[in-house]
Amino acid sequence: MAHLAQTAGLTDIQEEILSTVRAFVDKEIIPHAQSLEHGDTYPEDIVEGMKEMGLFGLTIPEEFGGLGESLLTYALVVEQIARGWMSVSGVINTHFIVAHMLKQHGTPEQQQKYLPRMATGEVRGSFSMSEPELGSDVAAIRTRATRTGSQAGAGFAISGQKMWLTNGGTSNLTAVLVKTDEGAEKAHHNLTTFLVEKPEGYGEVLPGLTIPGKIDKMGYKGVDTTEMVFDDFAIDADQVLGGVTGQGFRHMMDGVEVGRVNVAARACGIALRSFELAIGYAQQRKTFGKPIAEHQAIAFKLAEMATKVEAAHLMMVNAARLKDSGARNDVEAGMAKLIASEYCAEVTQEAFRIHGGYGYSKEYEIERLMREAPFLLIGEGTSEIQKTIISRGLLRDYRSRG
């Protein structure tokens, strides 16, 4: 094995895409990530480069102008981009989730309206489930859409506050999960996903729709994270995803399921980069007359780190391939996200320790990775949520017959 995180059984096209992306990361992302991250600067030039490569349309079907590639291809691309700078992968993650939801659940009119422009990056997607007091209890959503007429085709008025929108200011299409009055006994059946078109920017971008300024974060800089505030925001009925209310929870969970594979891929990318930095530094830094890599304490750390990188990568690939096959992958996606995010935090911390005092300096890349890795323990559901999903799936599949 020459390098870690290699994937067997890829097509020639997949290999070519990954080779191109890897070269782009090494040339256009890694050399600039430090200065952009420290300045909390949006990576405009990098985003334009990704548009030119067709990455915004990577999984969008060819009939809509995309490349029609699989979730596996996308996950491997994200792994490489996150290896360069996780924030860049965040730029395309929510876009990909919205495109997936449109592809799987949108009406033909919605697909034709948005997917061709999403493939070029002209339309950029974000999505929102969370609210300031919501946490993981999606059924407790308070943001509400009220019908504004009784006839067919009547619109809605949305009021409420959404939280933690990645690309909230730089996107122009947001899939928003809100409550509608369906009269259903189960709270999840009273939720609807709306496709909200808006201009890029901050402040009151449309009557009744405000995007406050960027939330200042410990890491995950450059990419914007915002709130979204609705105050009797008027929206047409044809902006309901799939054209039917009450299906929003199902639509969002499908999107989050592929999002968990994406977060696992991001964690794999950061862990891989942390290992690369650690093993490179350990062969250059000398103590007691020899490189620290030759000291057993460091050598054992590197062995454990490499094993964790490889294990996380394999679980991520397995979850992606299951989803691509059409099989249910809620358990496998949860497992991949759980182990990849936890191992990422552990590998990054070990790399930080190997760097010693230099790891605490902002001049060294590992300092940035130390601030980025914790986000993955939270994004698309905490480790505790993943364990809940995994255990429920196991109990479902191993239900006692006695």
Which residue reads 């005092």 in tokens?
357
Quick count: other Cβ atoms within 10 Å of Cβ 86?
31
Q: For residue 226, give the nearest of 208, 202, 209 by alpha carbon.
A: 202
Angle made by CA atoms 234, 236, 237, in degrees to the nearest 5: 130
Q: How far is CA 309 from CA 170, 267, 341, 344, 355, in A?
A: 32, 9, 11, 8, 18
Q: How far apart are CA 238 and CA 97, in angstroms?
A: 20
Catalytic residue among 227, 332, 365, 380: 380
**Contact between residue 74 and residue 58 where contact means Cβ atoms under 8 Å apart:** yes
Handedness of CA 149, 150, 154, 159 (dihedral sign): positive
Please report, as a single letter, which amino acid is at residue 362: K
Q: How far apart are CA 137 and CA 133, in angstroms?
A: 9
**Contact between residue 171 and residue 125 where contact means Cβ atoms under 8 Å apart:** yes
**Contact between residue 55 and residue 239 where contact means Cβ atoms under 8 Å apart:** no
Q: How far apart are CA 66 and CA 203, in angstroms?
A: 32
**Contact between residue 125 and residue 173 where contact means Cβ atoms under 8 Å apart:** yes
> Residue 188 in 3-state DSSP?
helix
Q: How far apart are CA 135 and CA 138, in angstroms?
A: 8
Q: For residue 46, give the nearest of 59, 58, 36, 38 by alpha carbon.
A: 36
Q: Is 380 a catalytic residue?
A: yes
Handedness of CA 259, 51, 271, 302 (dihedral sign): positive
**Contact between residue 105 and residue 99 where contact means Cβ atoms under 8 Å apart:** no
Q: How far apart are CA 367 and CA 371, in angstroms?
A: 7
359: left (phi over 0), alpha (psi -120 to 50) or beta: alpha
**Contact between residue 225 and residue 233 where contact means Cβ atoms under 8 Å apart:** no
Q: Catalogue the active-site residues.
A: 380
